[in-house]
Chains A and B, each alone.
Chain A
């Protein structure tokens, strides 16, 4: 197994780069990070729309949220892969396709996190901000969201973990992320499937496990500051 790592570690980490497309674990992380960052604003808008007092805003977004949540990510990727080019008129590359699918998918999940974060605050906060004369969006921006985002942090890290695992589905559209690279290695080596996929699994596990420990630590730290404040 060590010779496997010795021979293929760079390919595993960055794909064929710089002699070919960037890929491997690096691409997985870039995709997951940019997917989450890009879906964050979308999630904020969707989340606020989900609790909007106006039906005309609330209903369509709620429908979208239910639609996407009721569909496997693989479906969303297929839509992005086959459907997107048919409206834009030209073929999109795999990274953009995957990113589009991830942003829509994550945006919807983040919307639910944002919504829960906002609804978790005492009702008096918004009421009080409004009673001072702040408008709805000002109250959201200065009073509600800063508090909600703080309590959402652990959930955001968890969402990031899901996103890392989700990028493996890029395999299906030929995206050279780490699972794809691993299967390439497997084809080249032929005789060591178990080892190759063991290393791949271990890589995902180490990454996601340490992140979920981080999320757990964040949660505890937030609880601690909260109870310290309550005790003070």
Chain B
């Protein structure tokens, strides 16, 4: 479904993505992990062109996403993106947050868009909050609404950029559960996350990144039990035994 071919990105002199070549299949759940600044978020943001790339090629469903004449808005409307900071629209209530894009872009009738959004809110367990404003929700609830809002466009692909990193610890679980259910329903998902439990249980494949390169691509079992690269071995031991750092 997605092919990256020798993708390179620089921020000024900083080489953020180095010759990234990768294939992601339909229905696959891929978790991207790695230390801060390793290029995980940058990678996922290039996939819906929130970040431009300087060289290489990205194709989705056989089409180069940087080709001339691409309708960028139409293209983006088929990719769900969930941000670390939720980014709910604070002046709209929960239901309006979900309805806006499908009503504007898919030409749905208001009643239709409303019914669909309510069904999705039901799915993330928040139908009873439909008329609440984002500021009245907890972080976990906001993120679940953000997921429902992305799903309202019925995208075949969902991208998650550290969806639980801005949450209080007790709210991480509710968001991960929604994501797990989504994965079980067969959604193609790419998740940048530090939640190793989620990676182990839900991911089909794990990409480990460091310094803009994908160092490791493995099943969760292989990655957690038999990491190949020294960098991945160190990363895993650091998160398992955080107090073993030598000063």
Residues of B within 8 A of A125 (CB): 87, 89
Which of B72-80, B179-187, B203-211 lies at the interface?
Answer: B72-80
Bound-state Cα–Cα, A127 to B77, Å: 13
Residues of chain A within 8 A of B100, CB atoms compared: 132, 134, 142
Given A122-B87, A143-B89; A127-B101 close (CB under 8 Å): no
Q: Inside 8 A of A232's CB, which chain B residues have their CB?
A: 135-136
Query: B223 at the A/B interface (Cβ < 8 Å)?
Result: no
Shortest distance in angstroms between B48's beta carbon and chain A's nearest beta carbon? Answer: 6
Chain B residues lying within 8 Å of A142, measured Cβ to Cβ, are 100, 104
B116 in the interface (beta carbon within 8 A): no
- Cβ contact within 8 Å between A133 and B101: yes
Partner of B91, one of A124, A133, A135, A146: A146
For residue A127, which residues in chain B have a CB less than 8 angstroms away from its CB? Answer: 50, 83, 87
Chain B hits for A146, CB < 8 A: 91
Given known A131-B76, A131-B81, A134-B73, contact A124–B101 (CB-CB < 8 A): no
Question: By the criterion CB–CB under 8 Å, are B104 and A124 in contact?
Answer: no
Please tell me if A5 contacts chain B, counting CB pairs below 8 Å: no
A128 x B136 contact (CB < 8 A): no
Q: Which residues of B contact A135 (CB under 8 A)?
A: 73
Q: Is the CB of A138 within 8 A of B104?
A: yes
**A150 to chain B: which residues have CB within 8 Å?**
91
Q: For residues 111 through 159 of chain A, which have their beta carbon under 8 Å from a beta carbon of chain B?
A: 122, 124-125, 127-135, 138, 142-143, 146-147, 150
Residue of B nearest to A142 (CB): B100
B 62-88 to A, binary, CB cutoff 8 A, 1 in contact else 0: 000000000001111111010101010
Complex: chain B residue closest to A135, CB-CB: B73
Which residue of the partner chain, among A131, A134, A138, contacts B48 with CB atoms under 8 Å?
A131
Chain A positions within 8 Å of B79 at CB level: 131
Smallest Cβ distance from B134 to chain A, in angstroms? 8
Query: B144 an interface residue at 8 Å Cβ cutoff?
Result: no
Which residue of chain B is the closest to A229 with respect to CB atoms?
B135
> B133 near A229 (CB under 8 angstroms)?
yes
A133 and B153 contact, CB distance less than 8 A:
yes
Q: Are A132 and B85 in contact, CB atoms less than 8 angstroms apart?
A: no
Contact of A134 among B81, B105, B150 (CB under 8 A): B105
Assembly CA distance A230 to B142 (angstroms)? 13
Between A and B, 25 residue pairs with Cβ closer than 8 Å are A122-B85, A128-B83, A129-B89, A131-B79, A132-B77, A132-B81, A132-B101, A132-B149, A132-B150, A132-B153, A133-B73, A133-B105, A133-B153, A134-B101, A134-B104, A134-B105, A138-B104, A142-B104, A147-B89, A147-B90, A147-B91, A150-B91, A229-B90, A229-B136, A232-B135
Chain B interface (Cβ < 8 Å from any Cβ of A): 48, 50, 73-79, 81, 83, 85, 87, 89-91, 100-101, 104-105, 133, 135-136, 149-150, 153
Chain A residues engaging chain B, CB cutoff 8 angstroms: 122, 124-125, 127-135, 138, 142-143, 146-147, 150, 229-230, 232
Q: A143-B89, A232-B135 are in contact. List 10 more A-B contacts (CB 8 A).
A: A131-B50, A132-B77, A132-B81, A132-B101, A133-B76, A134-B100, A134-B101, A135-B73, A142-B100, A150-B91
